[in-house]
Amino acid sequence: MEKIYGHSDRVLGFGCWAIAGEWWDTAGQPLGWGKTDDEESVRAIHRALDLGVTFFDTADVYGAGHSERLLGRALGRRRADVAVATKWGNLFDERTRTLTGADPTPEYARRALTASLARLGTDHVDLYQLHLGDVAPHRAAELRDLCEEFVKEGLVRAYGWSTDDPQRAAVFAAGAHCAAVQYRANVLQDAPEMHALCETADLAGIIRSPLAMGLLTGKHGDGRAPAAGDIRSAPPAWLPGFGDGGGADPAWLARVEALREVLTSGGRTLTQGALAWLWARSPRTVPIPGFRSVAQAEENAGAMAKGPLGEAEMAEAERILGR
């Protein structure tokens, strides 16, 4: 898994949820990030590759299959140069772009993997991740053992679990080819127990929501709600930082502004500073910021040249947040 974790203090991946386009649950709740331009997304992936990004994280359910298809198309002949991660566990209808349920059974996992390989246009997945964060530990152990079979068959190089529960993550971590756990973390929402698990279990920490769903980009300071079709316009309970009307929570924005000076030190943008905080927080973190344009890909990738925040900046951030 060197393409994912490497030997650097600034490993960066790109998350492919935002490029999936619009999709919904059966009640009409938006689950995507609004309308997207597939051609611009492909150009952004190509630019990321040119800038040295070698890890892309998606899921079968993103855009009800669309994200996987788009990533596979964009990578093309460069597939061998990168590590591709995807996830399984959700049920969806590609035709209507609708999330329809979940299936944590081993039987479904194999069907899901076969379908993901076809959409991605590849013969293996570098990191296969369970996408259901609350699966019972005994069932998770069955799925872990199945992932070991996938590894033996050459369909999967390594596997992990996308969960914020360290006790559940530890179930997968007991597997010989478990290489990572994916969890939410950012300067506003630290995850010390998950960082510690990655250290003790020798795992890469794949960091979702490294920019707090966009709040750490500085683009939501005007309080306007995201467009309809964007999950943040009608945020579910698990998505903090945005109000019922979809606008950013003023208290969260105030914390972002308080952190702006320390995060933009060393010529960084606010986005780059948020990524730099994660690298400094734990050398095992692999942030996977989303992107929808070439400009965003360039800004995200530009964080690698500047590296982690220093000890003084980290201490100042903790002082500001009162932690």
C-alpha to C-alpha distances, 69 to 33, 59, 117, 135, 242, nearest whole angstrom: 17, 11, 10, 27, 30
Q: Tokens 């040249």 label which residue?
A: 305
Residue 5, pLDDT above cutoff 70: no
Report how far residue 87's alpha carbon sits from residue 191's, in angstroms, rounded to the nearest whole number: 21
User: H or E element: which one contains 208?
Assistant: strand 204-208
User: In this predicted structure, what is the pLDDT of residue 235?
Assistant: 86
Q: Which residues are within 8 A (CB) of 206 and not within 5 positions of it... i.e. 6 or more apart?
A: 4, 13, 57, 85, 127, 129, 160, 162, 180, 181, 182, 183, 286, 288
Residue 279, pLDDT above cutoff 60: yes
User: In this predicted structure, what is the pLDDT of residue 2?
Assistant: 54
Q: What's the one-letter identity of residue 165? A: D
Confidence of residue 6 (pLDDT cuts 50, 70, 90): low
Q: Which residues are within 8 A (CB) of 152 and not within 5 positions of it... i.e. 6 or more apart?
A: none
For the chain, the domain total comes to 1
DSSP 293: S
Residue 1, pLDDT above cutoff 70: no
User: In this predicted structure, what is the pLDDT of residue 218?
Assistant: 87
User: In this predicted structure, what is the pLDDT of residue 223?
Assistant: 66
Domain hosting 101: range is 2-321
> pLDDT tens for residues 49-106?
999 999 999 999 999 999 999 999 999 999 999 999 999 999 999 999 999 999 999 9
Report the percentage of the chain scoring pLDDT > 90.
87
Report how far residue 205's alpha carbon sits from residue 184's, in angstroms, rounded to the nearest whole number: 10
User: In this predicted structure, what is the pLDDT of residue 47?
Assistant: 98
Report how far residue 103's alpha carbon sits from residue 171's, in angstroms, rounded to the nearest whole number: 19
Q: Tokens 């596997």 label which residue?
A: 159
Tokens of 171: 């179930």
Report the percentage of the chain scoring pLDDT > 70.
96
Residue 143, pLDDT above cutoff 80: yes
Whole-model pTM: value is 0.96
User: H or E element: which one contains 116?
Assistant: helix 106-120
Q: Is residue 15 helix, strand or coil?
A: strand
> pLDDT tens for residues 202-259?
999 999 999 999 999 988 766 677 888 889 988 888 888 887 766 888 999 999 999 9
> pLDDT tens for residues 161-193?
999 999 999 999 999 999 999 999 999 999 999
Q: Is residue 57 helix, strand or coil?
A: strand
> pLDDT tens for residues 24-37?
999 999 999 999 99
DSSP-assigned beta bridge partners for residue 57 = 15, 85
CATH number for position 312: 3.20.20.100
